[in-house]
Structure 1
Amino acid sequence: MNRFLPWGLLSLVSLVFLSVFVAYPILGVLLRSFLGETGGFSLNGFLIFLTKGQYLEALFNSVLLGVTVTFTCSVVGVFLAFIVARYEIPFGSIIFLLPLSILIIPELISAQSWIMVLGNNGLVTNLFKAIGIPFPRFYGWLGLIYVMTLTFYVHIFLAALAALQGFDHNLEEAGLSLGTTPLKTYFKVVFPAIMPAVLSAGLIVFTLVVGNFAISITLGQRVPLLSVMTYRSFISELGGNPTMQSTLATVSILLVVAVLFLQKRYISKRNYQMVAGRTPPRKKLKGWKSFLASGGAGLIIVLSLLPALVVLIGSFTYSRGPVMYWGEFTLSNYARIWDFNMGVIFNSLKFASLASALGVIFATLVSYLLVKKRNVLSTSLDYLLLLPLTISGTVLGIALAHGFNSGPLVLTGTAGLMVLAMMLRRLPFGVRNAASNLHSISDSIEEASVSLGVPPVRTVFNVVLPLMAPGIAAAAILTWVTTVAELSASVVIYQAGQETLPIQIFRLISSDLMARASAFGVINMLIILVPVFFGIKVMKVKLFSS
């Protein structure tokens, strides 16, 4: 019994928590997809899915969009990583702002900004109309691929950059010494070595695209997609078809699981290990090569950071309904928030603070249990932690809403469910960041403290937690950022009076009130930016070290 306490007990408590609030709701979704109208076993939901063209079209479109955006992100991310790793460019220091752009500029705000520029009533669209040149419709496939590429390519950029910086230049020189051209050497030696890292990041991009809600519903007006169709089925005025809601959610889960399986099998057969070697030197380019490399990288940087500037200007722009009068500035958008919508800001701060605090505490505990105190329950904990990665926010919201609308624990409609959804959305990433430096903490340090008579639990607080501080700080900041920007799960489960900043922005965008949405967007970005800036500049936290 003494060997079970306290770490075995804490593992059991963590396992019960994940079972109740993650496994149980998801299992409920899966089981409901096999129930008919009478409550008995039925495959009617899947028969409808396979026989009605709209559902198959949504599945095909989701897969096609995921594959296309993953490919475009790979092209952009690997190109930019290669330029940064191999060549000196004039604005190289700005490159390191790109990872922050995905934190500071939420997906919804990115989509909103490009609608303000390239949408039907966008600034560039109206300029083209004024000179008599038709501008292509931005909504649909064009807008989805364009905005999602600029939103998600940073994941592949970071993975490819890390792989290229760890590449042994001796291998490349060996290929060149055999008479192979530099371009052929890149494709035969360099790129295959970094491919596992790119594929792992590509999987993240694919799952983010397939489960994406904010950009999909904002720009994909005429493109049926699983995430949007699942959401609309859930919020239907007549309550929708509960079987089809669960069936669509189940298909989304199975799609991601299938991709996870294929990716794991592919990488297991192509696993490269790089021994310590010479890092490739960075070169200076001249002439047209310098122009092409610097120009291409510069364009990517500008387009990545442009949404923040557009939303900032839009928040001070005078508007009348959906029409924005660019060049006419006003403070009325912010004054309206001060007079009528401060509750939305307080909701975001309250829900995000609670979700972040609870999420970091739980992530810190679980990371310590998995890394330092593994036991017979650890494997089950590992698997349960993976479950949130296999579902989109929309599916998670539906699972929680259905799972806790009756029975001994009723949470549907309460603020507690909002906090729970925000906490669970990025829990696996919080655990990973909290554990980022646990592997480098020697067990002998903890054992020495215990041998001096300090109880194990107090040793954790006095010795281990201070050493874990950088990872915990990174987990706290990243958890805060994702909870403040959370939309896909919260928009499914919120009730009147529980609106957060992303929900309010989404509602305003749906009503084409872009100027007012921009003011909320700026406030949302500031709430995100302040902790990020404080963590990086004051606390010297390395957010992307793990």
Structure 2
Amino acid sequence: MSVQAGPTTQAYRIAQEKHRRRFSPWLVLAVASVVLALVFVAWPILNVLLKSFSGATGDPLAGWAEFFGDPQYPTAVGNTLLLAAIVTVLATAIGVFLAYFTSRFAFWGKAAIAVLPVTAILVPEVIVTQAWLMFLGNNGFLTRFVRDVFGAEMPTLYGWRGLILILPLLYYTYVYLGTLAALKSFDSQLEEAAMSLGSPPLVARLKVMIPAIFPAVASTSIVVFTLTIGNFATSTIIGGKVQLLAPLTYKAFLAETGGNPVMQSTLATVAIAIVALVLFFQRMTVGRKKYEMVQGRSWTPIKLRGGSGALLSIIAAAILIASTLPLVMVTAMAFTASSGPVLRWGAFSFDNIAKVLTREPQPILNTIGFGAIACAIGVFVSVIVSVVIVKKKNFLTPALDYLVMLPMALSGTVLGIGMMTTFGSDSLIPLSGTTSIIVLVFVIRRLVHGVRNASATLHAIPDSLEDASISLGVPPFRSFLNVVLPLMVPGIAAATVLTWVTIIGELSASLVVYSAGKETITIKVFQLMNTGLNGQAAAYGLILILLAIVPIFIATRVFRIRLFT
């Protein structure tokens, strides 16, 4: 039995055949995107790898001989892997616990408490580190209080102790958000079915719920592991005598800026290799596990009761207080009178704010200017790339998808070194010392956020809408502009806000490529902390936090944009 195509189907096929013969702008955009990605992403990384085999004495293995011959380098790699493992375990435990707590139980203030963990990724890392130093450092607020009142000395925050305290609180939000999304999509009827077959509640949960959320937990844990390996600010400021890969790479960069950068490239290559192996392991293990949930009934939250409920509440409250403490400390320090490095706690003052706004406003202006340009370019490119990857696939799509996501697997220090190696003063495209290289680093480092948000929006837009427009005789490119692009506006807005927030908080990559007079707020805070001027550093930090939080508040409360889903 044959089915005759209707008029609409015939018209659509005729229109498709007609426009297929025409010139396709999407193929040109795909080619241009791949070329740009090869030049500004693949080329710098390849240069880093090649430089590690170009010794000044002509021996291609000179850098590697020094790496294995100097005990500090293998020690730094071992310490970095150990730290990443510890932080990943702790951050995963915290994130999974909070996600389960907020999704499984009903309690007062749940809506606010569920959002509080997000503040951990809104406050830039260097600001968080500064706040913890002011609270628990050698002359911190709590340290001095315990010393003056009880006559006791608190353990130092520097070294392993501080790293293991701060880094899990910096990164657990990634696990929390991923696990919370998985738990919200979990069908509770599966767990109930297991219990109806005789499994105890705990056993049913372990056998049904854990496998279902495992891919989300494992994937976000891998993100935490890679972020810890590339961590720079906290490792440099708090690490003390602990040898770690990212600070050591930056020190090699400073020592070899004017000479043969073989050691910095060797260390950067080691970092790239570690992350590549981790991602390969993820693809071979976690990537094979996939569970799809059909629409079902989610959990009905239960009220917290008894001693166990009180204990869970205390643990959750302690985690949330520790997460929001940096925000409170930075605000307090910014309005505390100071004399050089000495903060006079209890003495309220606007002097720190006035100094940074009137005497040295350039870092603020640089952050806003560089960030705005990079954000505009990044969002524009991310929209084009996401459309090519999701809607207009061709033979270049897989390569483009991989190249765009590649910077996510690199630390900022490695990316910055690659940029300076490739676009230095003696290169084919000399950009060092210019604003362009800072903006370029911002765009490449944070492009993935825009691509992910725009791609998520495109996946939710049916192809039939654009097909209907084409079937009515509208050219494909104009159909996209008239039909698809307006539907992408919420996703583009979310991508803009998140790209902006991550750009203005960038430190490690910009610290490698910036030049005098082009300091951003994060660089200025880093410099002020090294000189002990914590009051002014806190003032800059507070302004940076406001630059991040105000757009988020406007987007979520005024325009009702969902940023963290």
| TM-score under structure 2 length normalisation | 0.93
Mapped partners of 1:41, 1:370: distance in 2: 43
Query: SS in structure 2 opposite 1:319?
Result: strand
The counterpart of 2:93, out of the listed 62, 70, 75, is 75
The counterpart of 1:389, out of the listed 397, 404, 408, is 408
Mapped partners of 1:257, 1:188: distance in 2: 31
Residues 363-442 of structure 1 correspond to what in structure 2 (within 5 A)?
A: 363-405=382-424, 406-442=426-462
Mapped partners of 1:269, 1:353: distance in 2: 40
Q: State the AA in 2 paired with 1:101.
A: T
Is residue 2:263 matched to residue 1:254? no
Provide the residue aligned with 2:60 in structure 1: 42
* Residues 497, 268 of structure 1: alpha-carbon distance in 2 compared, 3 angstrom cutoff: closer
* Residues 63, 374 of structure 1: alpha-carbon distance in 2 compared, 3 angstrom cutoff: same
Mapped partners of 1:172, 1:238: distance in 2: 59
* Residue pair 1:103, 1:481 contacting (<8 A) in 2 also: no
Deviation at 1:146, TM superposition (A): 1.1
Q: Percent identity?
A: 46
Provide the residue aligned with 1:134 in structure 2: 153
Larger deviation, residues 263-272 vs 63-72: 263-272
* Residue pair 2:117, 2:323 contacting (<8 A) in 1 also: no
Provide the residue aligned with 2:12 in structure 1: none
Q: State the AA in 1 paired with 2:239.
A: G
Aligned residues: 544
Larger deviation, residues 497-506 vs 292-301: 292-301
Mapped partners of 2:295, 2:482: distance in 1: 36
Is residue 2:477 matched to residue 1:457? yes
Is residue 2:331 matched to residue 1:294? no
The counterpart of 2:112, out of the listed 66, 79, 94, is 94
Is residue 2:495 matched to residue 1:475? yes
Mapped partners of 1:281, 1:518: distance in 2: 43
Query: SS in structure 2 opposite 1:139?
Result: coil
Q: Deviations over 1:69-95 (max 9, x none)?
A: 110011111111111111112221122
Mapped partners of 1:474, 1:102: distance in 2: 19
Provide the residue aligned with 2:536 in structure 1: 516
Q: Deviations over 1:31-66 (max 9, x none)?
A: 11111114x561221222223210011101111111
Deviation at 1:178, TM superposition (A): 4.3
* Residue pair 2:121, 2:170 contacting (<8 A) in 1 also: no
Mapped partners of 1:194, 1:504: distance in 2: 41
Q: State the AA in 1 paired with 2:105.
A: Y
Deviation at 1:260, TM superposition (A): 0.4
Mapped partners of 2:201, 2:514: distance in 1: 56
Deviation at 1:5, TM superposition (A): 2.4
Mapped partners of 2:203, 2:281: distance in 1: 28
* Residue pair 2:87, 2:225 contacting (<8 A) in 1 also: yes
Mapped partners of 2:117, 2:453: distance in 1: 15
Mapped partners of 2:546, 2:515: distance in 1: 25
* Residues 288, 407 of structure 1: alpha-carbon distance in 2 compared, 3 angstrom cutoff: same
* Residues 482, 238 of structure 1: alpha-carbon distance in 2 compared, 3 angstrom cutoff: closer
Q: State the AA in 2 paired with 1:361.
A: F
Mapped partners of 2:177, 2:483: distance in 1: 32
Q: State the AA in 1 paired with 2:361.
A: M
Provide the residue aligned with 1:193 in structure 2: 212
* Residue pair 1:233, 1:241 contacting (<8 A) in 2 also: no
Residues 59-458 of structure 1 correspond to what in structure 2 (within 5 A)?
A: 59-130=77-148, 131-236=150-255, 239=258, 242-405=261-424, 406-458=426-478
Mapped partners of 1:445, 1:275: distance in 2: 25
Query: SS in structure 1 opposite 2:388?
Result: helix
Mapped partners of 1:218, 1:89: distance in 2: 38
Provide the residue aligned with 1:498 in structure 2: 518
Query: SS in structure 2 opposite 1:235?
Result: helix
Mapped partners of 1:41, 1:383: distance in 2: 33
Mapped partners of 2:286, 2:22: distance in 1: 38
Q: State the AA in 1 paired with 2:205.
A: Y
Q: Deviations over 1:82-141 (max 9, x none)?
A: 111111122211223235313431111111111000001100111111121120111111
| TM-score under structure 1 length normalisation | 0.96
Mapped partners of 1:5, 1:180: distance in 2: 58
Query: SS in structure 1 opposite 2:255?
Result: coil
Query: SS in structure 1 opposite 2:347?
Result: strand
* Residue pair 1:105, 1:308 contacting (<8 A) in 2 also: yes
Structure 1 residue ranges (4+ consecutive) displaced by more than 6 angstroms after TM superposition: none
Mapped partners of 1:417, 1:498: distance in 2: 11
* Residue pair 1:203, 1:259 contacting (<8 A) in 2 also: yes
Larger deviation, residues 122-131 vs 350-359: 122-131
Mapped partners of 1:520, 1:309: distance in 2: 14
Mapped partners of 2:23, 2:193: distance in 1: 55
Mapped partners of 1:363, 1:238: distance in 2: 33
* Residue pair 2:121, 2:171 contacting (<8 A) in 1 also: no
Mapped partners of 2:157, 2:538: distance in 1: 19
Mapped partners of 1:48, 1:408: distance in 2: 30
Query: SS in structure 1 opposite 2:338?
Result: strand
Q: State the AA in 1 paired with 2:130.
A: Q
* Residue pair 2:120, 2:169 contacting (<8 A) in 1 also: no
Deviation at 1:188, TM superposition (A): 3.1
Larger deviation, residues 532-541 vs 438-447: 438-447
Query: SS in structure 1 opposite 2:165?
Result: helix
Q: Which runs of 5+ in 2 are unaligned?
A: 1-19
Is residue 2:516 matched to residue 1:486? no
Deviation at 1:243, TM superposition (A): 0.8
Query: SS in structure 2 opposite 1:503?
Result: helix
Q: Which runs of 5+ in 1 are unaligned?
A: none
Q: State the AA in 1 paired with 2:165.
A: Y
* Residue pair 2:130, 2:529 contacting (<8 A) in 1 also: yes
Query: SS in structure 2 opposite 1:339?
Result: helix
Deviation at 1:280, TM superposition (A): 1.9
Mapped partners of 1:456, 1:217: distance in 2: 52
Mapped partners of 1:134, 1:18: distance in 2: 53
Residues 12-31 of structure 1 correspond to what in structure 2 (within 5 A)?
A: 12-31=31-50
Deviation at 1:241, TM superposition (A): 5.4
The counterpart of 2:74, out of the listed 48, 56, 64, is 56
Mapped partners of 1:531, 1:300: distance in 2: 26
Mapped partners of 2:257, 2:184: distance in 1: 55
* Residue pair 1:234, 1:240 contacting (<8 A) in 2 also: no
* Residue pair 1:77, 1:157 contacting (<8 A) in 2 also: yes
Mapped partners of 1:110, 1:237: distance in 2: 30
Deviation at 1:358, TM superposition (A): 0.1
* Residue pair 1:211, 1:227 contacting (<8 A) in 2 also: yes
Q: Deviations over 1:272-315 (max 9, x none)?
A: 33333321221112111121122111221121112111100100
Larger deviation, residues 360-369 vs 531-540: 531-540
Query: SS in structure 2 opposite 1:437?
Result: helix
Q: State the AA in 1 paired with 2:386.
A: S
Larger Rg belongs to: 2
Q: State the AA in 1 paired with 2:125.
A: E
